[in-house]
């Protein structure tokens, strides 16, 4: 089995074992804590008349929010099980959800051909991808934005890995939703901080804005405080 093959199996297994109940995935936070503040940063840089593609959409919570602010919304995910979750939750049929491997250049080119230049939302995908796939995912972002689109990329930082280690060592054991991530062989916060902007630049994109943030999770510490994982955000696109 290839590296990508193991990665596909892990995600299918994870989403296959995840109930439809909102918030069951540790990263399935309410859009008011996630896509909404991200869109505030993103909005000054985009043409909202272009479609938005949520790459690594999972069960589509953030995609459904983004659909209210763009002319067209498409959510894509590697996992068939995740796409099935997303379609069941989209009772208003506001989003087109489809299975797509962002590390498959031919599939990404076909999507760009169909949609034209698009805005891209990429939340916490590169950091937990297999190393050989990370340049391909960055290239997928570049392909989808084309000349006119922009991408909002937010990824966990190395500091997040320290937080995760501390949570796994808590006296009462790790929070259940976090334990389930590792039980399925997923590996968060594996990319180095500089790797993400370097990969995007190597794909021909310019960093137009960047900053630090934290990704709110749906799990809580033993003292009742919400888990927030340190992250970096970047807005990228082609210039000139």
What's 162's domain CATH number? 3.40.50.150
**Residue 179 belongs to a domain:** yes
Q: What is the pLDDT of residues 22-74, one digit of tens each?
A: 999 999 999 999 999 999 999 999 999 999 999 999 999 999 999 999 999 99
Structural domains of the chain, count: 1
**Residue 118 belongs to a domain:** yes
DSSP code for 225? P
**Residue 22 belongs to a domain:** no
Q: Which residues of 1-22 are buried (b: 16+ CB within 10 A; e: fewer)?
A: eeebeebbebbbbbbeebeeee
Sign for the CA dihedral angle at 186, 177, 81, 98 comes to negative
Residues 6+ away with beta carbon under 8 Å from 135: 199, 202, 203
% the chain with pLDDT above 90: 85
Residue pair 179/173 in contact by the 8 Å Cβ criterion: yes
What domain range is 174 assigned to?
Answer: 3-16+27-237
Backbone phi and psi for residue 206, each to the nearest 5 degrees, phi listed first? -105, 135
**Residue 123 belongs to a domain:** yes
Q: What is the pLDDT of residues 125-146, one digit of tens each?
A: 999 888 999 999 999 999 999 9
Q: What is the mean pLDDT of the chain?
A: 94
pLDDT confidence of 6, banded at 50, 70, 90?
confident
């Amino acid at each position: 089995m290839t590296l990508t093959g193991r990665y596909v199996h892990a995600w299918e297994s994870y989403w296959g074992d995840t109930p439809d109940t909102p918030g069951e995935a540790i990263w399935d936070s309410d859009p008011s804590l996630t896509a909404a503040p991200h869109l505030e940063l993103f909005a000054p840089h985009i043409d909202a008349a272009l479609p938005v593609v949520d790459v690594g959409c999972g069960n589509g919570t953030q995609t459904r929010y983004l659909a209210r602010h763009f002319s067209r919304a498409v959510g894509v995910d590697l996992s068939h099980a995740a796409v099935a979750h997303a379609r069941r939750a989209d009772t208003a049929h506001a989003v087109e959800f489809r299975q797509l491997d962002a590390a498959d250049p031919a599939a990404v080119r076909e999507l760009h051909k169909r949609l034209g230049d698009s805005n891209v939302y990429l939340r916490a995908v590169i950091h937990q991808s297999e190393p050989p796939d990370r340049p391909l995912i960055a290239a997928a972002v570049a392909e989808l934005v084309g000349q006119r689109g922009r991408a909002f990329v937010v990824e966990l930082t190395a500091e997040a890995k320290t937080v995760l280690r501390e949570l796994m060592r808590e006296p009462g054991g790790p929070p259940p939703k976090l334990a389930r991530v590792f039980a399925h062989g997923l590996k968060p916060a594996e990319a180095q901080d500089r790797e993400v902007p370097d990969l995007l630049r190597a794909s021909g994109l310019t960093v137009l804005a960047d900053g630090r943030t934290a990704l709110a999770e749906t799990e809580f510490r033993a003292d009742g405080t919400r888990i927030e994982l340190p992250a970096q955000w970047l807005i990228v696109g082609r210039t000139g």
